[in-house]
Amino acid sequence: MTEPAASRGDGGGAQPIGQPTVIAEAVETNPTATLPINTRKRKLNASGSQKTSIVWEHFKTISENESKEKMAECNHCGKRYRCDPKIHGTSSLLNHIGKCPKYPNAIINDPNQTSLTLKRDVSGLTVVSQRYNVEACRRALIVFIILDEQPFRVVEGEGFKHFCRQLQPQFIVPSRHTIARLCFQFYMDEKHKLKAFFKSNCARVALTTDCWTSIQNLNYLALTTHFIDNDWKYQKRIISFSIVPNHKGETIGKKVEEVLKEWGLRNVSTITVDNASANDVAVTYLKKRFKNMGGLVMDGQFFHMRCCAHILNLVVNDGLKDVHNSIANIRTAVRFVRSSPQRLAKFKECVEFSKIECKKLLCLDVPTRWNSTYMMLDAAEKFQVAFEKLDFEDSSYLEVFGIAGPPTTIDWENVRAFLKFLKIFYEATKVFSTSSHVSLHVAFHQLSSIYFELKQSNMNLNTILAMMGFNMKQKYDKYWGNINNINQLLYFGVIFDPRYKFEFVDWSFKEMYLDDANFDENLSTSLKENLFHMYNWYKTGYEKQNESAQSSHDSTFCVSHSETSVFVENSSYLARKDAFKKHLREKKFY
C-alpha cells in the first residue's frame, strides 16, 4: 500500500460524522470558491474509466437511510466518513488508514518512546533522550514562521511537507488556516506574559514614538517602551504597531493613552518624539492626563524629550544644500555604475587597472536620509581614479551627465571635505539611534562636541565648509542654542557618570555659552537644585514603600528582632541619605 497522503488541514477532504462540512458549505454558498485540487490526472484502466483509488480496498460504501448520503465505512474499525466524490474526495480516507487503530499493517508508535538527539550546552554537544511532542513541534513551527517572516502558505508547499516527513514522520503539518489561528493565539499568550512581566518587573517606563505614512497612504504609529527590570538590565518592548486615522496631535495622544491603559502602564518617566507641532500637542495632552493620575516624575517637568537624532537630521540637511551639486554629480556616477551588470563589470576593470585596493562597495543613498548619503560618498571617493578612467572607457558614461559633465576634481575635493566635517555628526547619529543600551549619559557629550565643531567651522578657509557650518549653526541654535530648552535629564546623565560629574557640565556651560548674551550664570545652580529635587522625589517614594512594607511585617517580629531591624534600617537610611552627596563630593573616577 502507498504512504498515506499528508493532511490538507481543517478544510480539506472528507469530513467525519458530527463535524461541520466546511468545504461542502463553502461550495453551496460560493460556487467559485477556490479549493485545493489535485491537478494530476488519474490513470485510466482498460475500459477507459478512471482508476479506482486504493482506499476502497479498506473502505466500503453505504448509504444513510434518512439523508440518503453516501458514506464510507472502514473495514477495520467501522468509522464512517462522508465520501461524495463531487464534494469530499478521498484524502481523509487515506489519512484515516495511516492512523486506524485496527489496521493490521499500521506502524505502532509508542507515545512514551524516546529518541536520541544532540543538545548544545556550555561543555559542547551532548547526547540526550527526547520524547516526541506534537505541541512542541507546532510551537517550533510557529516560531519559525514568525522569526523568519514566512507566509502562512509555506506549510502547504510540497517540499516543506516532504522535509517535515523526513524529520518526524508522526508530525502532521497543519494547514495555513490552522497556522494563522495558532500564530494569533501565540501572540495573545505572549502578550499576557508580557503584561505579567510589566506588572512584576517594571516600576516606570520611558516611551518612544514613531509616526510615518506608507506608500498606500496609511498612517502608522509605533510605540516602544524602555525600562530597567528587577535585575538592572535594560529592556525594550514594542507594545503597539497600529494604523491611525491621522497624525494630528490629539489623535496621537489618545492612541498612546489607550495603549498604555491596555497594558496597565501608568508610571511614565519621559516620552521621546520627533520635533513636530503635532507631537507637541500630543505631549501636552498626555502630560495633562498622566499628571492627574500621579504617574509622572515631578509632575512631568522632564516628560517631553525631543528626539536628538531627528533634530540632528534637520541640522545636517541644512548644510547639504551648499554642496548639493557635487553630491548630485557623484550620485549620478554611482547610479550609472550600478544600473546594469555590464557597466558594473566595466567599472571593476577600471578599478583593477587603477590598482585600487578597497573592500567597500558602491551603494546608492536615500536622498532624504543624509546618513545614507554619507555612506555613499564615503565609499565613492575611494574610487575617484576609477571613475575618471571610466570617462575614456565608456562613452555612455559622459552622456548621462549631459552638458554639466562628470564629477570634477573640485567635486571630489568638496566631498572629501564634507565627509571629514560630517564624520562627527555621523557618529553622533549612531549614538543617538542606538536601542541596545542606555545612551543618556553620552548624549550631552555629543551635543557639546557638535557645538564646538560648528563654532570652529566659521574660521574654515574652505568657503563651502564655512558657509555650510554657518547654516548648520543657525539650525543648531534654533533647537539647542537656548540651553533652557534642552531637557535637563541629558545633563543629569553626565553628572551621574563618575568620570565627569557636575564639574564637566559646569565647565561645558562656560565654554559653550559664556559669550552668549542670553546665558544665565545661575543656570548651574538651578540645575543642581533640580537634580536634588529629583533625588528627593525618588527618595520620598522609596521611603513610603519601605514604611508600608515594614508596617505589614511588624506584628510578626519579636522584640529583639525588631530592635535589630530598627538599627539596620536606620543605618541603611543614613547611608542612602548621604550617598548622593557623597557621589558629588568624591573625586572623579578615570
Residue 78 lies in a domain: yes
d(CA 266, CA 273): 18
Domain that holds residue 554: 492-590
The mean per-residue pLDDT over the stretch 469-496 comes to 84
Q: Is residue 342 part of a domain?
A: yes
Rounded to two decimals, what is the model's pTM?
0.67
The more confident residue out of 522 and 5 is 522
Answer yes or no: is 186 within a domain. no
Same structural domain, 451 and 496: no
- Residue 96 pLDDT grade (very low, low, confident, very high; cuts 50, 70, 90): confident
Q: What is the pLDDT of residue 421?
A: 83
Q: Going by C-beta distance under 8 Å and a sequence separation of 6 or more, which residues neighbour residue 322? A: 464, 467, 468, 471
Would residue 11 count as lying in a domain? no
> Which of the four pLDDT bands, split at 50, 70 and 90, describes residue 584?
low
Mean pLDDT, rounded, of the chain: 78
291 and 360 share one domain? no
Q: Are residues 136 and 69 in the same domain?
A: no
Cell readout for 393 is 572607457
Q: Identify the residue with better confidence: 12 or 251.
A: 251
Co-location of 386 and 442 in the same domain:
yes
Residue 459 lies in a domain: yes
Confidence band of 10 (pLDDT split at 50, 70, 90): very low
Tell me what pLDDT residue 246 has.
Answer: 92
Q: Are residues 365 and 406 in the same domain?
A: yes
Straight-line distance from the first to the last Cα atom of the chain, in angstroms, rounded to the nearest whole number: 78
Q: Which of 26-35, 347-356, 452-461, 529-538 has the lowest mean pLDDT?
A: 26-35
Clarify whether residues 559 and 416 are in a common domain: no
CA distances (Å), 254 to each of 204, 226, 251, 532, in order?
20, 20, 5, 33
Q: Give the residue from 431, 447, 481 where a domain finishes.
A: 481
What is the CA 527 to chain-centroid distance, rounded?
35
Sheet holding 80-82, edge to edge: 59-63, 70-74, 80-82
Answer for the pair 171, 135: CB distance below 8 angstroms, yes or no: no
- For residue 570, the model assigns a pLDDT of 47
Number of domains present in the structure of the chain: 5
Model confidence pLDDT, tens digit, residues 264-287? 898 899 999 988 889 999 999 999
Could you tell me if 205 and 194 are in contact, meaning their C-beta atoms sit under 8 angstroms apart? no
Q: 84 exposed, middle or buried (CB, 10 Å; 0-12, 13-18, 19+)?
A: middle
Q: 88 and 116 in contact (C-beta within 8 Å)?
A: no
Answer yes or no: is 185 within a domain.
no
Confidence (pLDDT) at 26: 36
Whichever domain contains 266, its CATH number is: 3.30.420
Domain assignment of residue 349, yes or no: yes
Q: Which residue has the higher pLDDT, 40 or 339?
A: 339
At which of 180, 195, 223 does a domain end? 180
pLDDT in tens, 352-389: 888 888 888 888 888 778 888 889 999 999 999 999 88
**How much is the pLDDT for 531?**
87
Range of lowest pLDDT (303-307, 349-353, 518-522): 518-522
Residue 12 lies in a domain: no
